[in-house]
Structure 1
């Protein structure tokens, strides 16, 4: 469905619970876009493999599988191919990383801006670095936004909340900057768990971010599709 949407000149918004859905959205987007970039905004690395994962949860593996690392059943979802180049990944807000993920990040060609780095640089400089990194490097960018990237104080309604994360305004700035850049071709919003939410705080944040991002959206894929 993501492939069909982008190929028809539309903008797919993919809503879900489990972040493993990123396997499918990236697979679809990368079939449409010749050279796809991915911005992954998440408290977790999501670059575990079946070997490194301490839990075996697939929602901790989609990013690694998308650039060709991990179990072949995940790497080859939808089509038997690597979906994205490792150097076309820009990860923001990581702060709860497993030991195996830390080792993968050390040797990675991708960009990983942990919360420590975000706090040191400031969100505007992080976004500036991100946009400059992708400029003239990719044809379009898929954005995968996990609500647990936001500080658990503000967004409790998610399966694995983590403190000391992004503020709501930080998240808004990242997403609207990508929307205004004209590079964003598709967007995941994931890991909302209403059962764990408090007074719909996380739901309200999700709706706020979606409405604001889509209201700022500028993109054109006429020259970027493989079809």
Structure 2
């Protein structure tokens, strides 16, 4: 994502799925950087920033073949400061806005 940019990565992913009639996006919060993903069982160093996740999901959701989108792996028992839930909600809110704006 950082080397090629969000638009190229989203475009490449959608190109690989060009023969699919429907696309189901499952956004795993484990992909976020470990400084953000404190409320998940598998934090990843050097993962996506919240802004990168927002941009990537907003770009992917523009494809008319997307039939479902979800966020997974938020674990409230590990998220004692509500950091992950707030980041996940920000991704959800912006992705939903992108969806509404493109339909």
TM-score, structure 2 length as denominator? Answer: 0.84
**What is the CA–CA distance in structure 1 between the aligned matches of 2:96 and 2:5, rounded to whole Å?**
24
1:210 aligns with 2:102: no
SS at match of 2:99: coil
- Deviation for aligned residue 1:141: 0.4
- Deviation for aligned residue 1:192: 0.7
**What is the CA–CA distance in structure 2 between the aligned matches of 1:212 and 1:172, rounded to whole Å?**
6
Any gaps of 5 or more consecutive residues in structure 1? Answer: 1-117, 221-227
- Deviation for aligned residue 1:126: 0.9
Q: CA RMSD in A?
A: 2.0
Alignment of 1:156-195 (within 5 A): 156-195=38-77
- Deviation for aligned residue 1:186: 0.7
TM-score, structure 1 length as denominator? Answer: 0.41
Among 131, 138, 158, the alignment partner of 2:14 is 131
SS at match of 2:9: helix
The superposition leaves residues 172-226 of structure 1 with CA deviations (integer Å, 9 ceiling, x where unpaired) of 1121112222221012211111121142110001111112112222689xxxxxx
SS at match of 1:185: strand
- Deviation for aligned residue 1:147: 0.5
Structure with larger Rg = 1
The superposition leaves residues 143-163 of structure 1 with CA deviations (integer Å, 9 ceiling, x where unpaired) of 111101001112211011121
SS at match of 2:62: helix
**What is the CA–CA distance in structure 1 between the aligned matches of 2:69 and 2:6, rounded to whole Å?**
20
- Deviation for aligned residue 1:166: 0.9
SS at match of 1:176: helix
| Higher RCO (CA 8 Å, separation ≥ 6 residues) | 2
Moved beyond 2 Å, runs of 4+: 118-124, 131-135
Any gaps of 5 or more consecutive residues in structure 2? Answer: none
**What is the CA–CA distance in structure 1 between the aligned matches of 2:49 and 2:57, rounded to whole Å?**
13
SS at match of 2:41: coil
SS at match of 1:196: coil
**Does the 8 Å CA contact 1:182/1:217 hold for their aligned counterparts?**
no
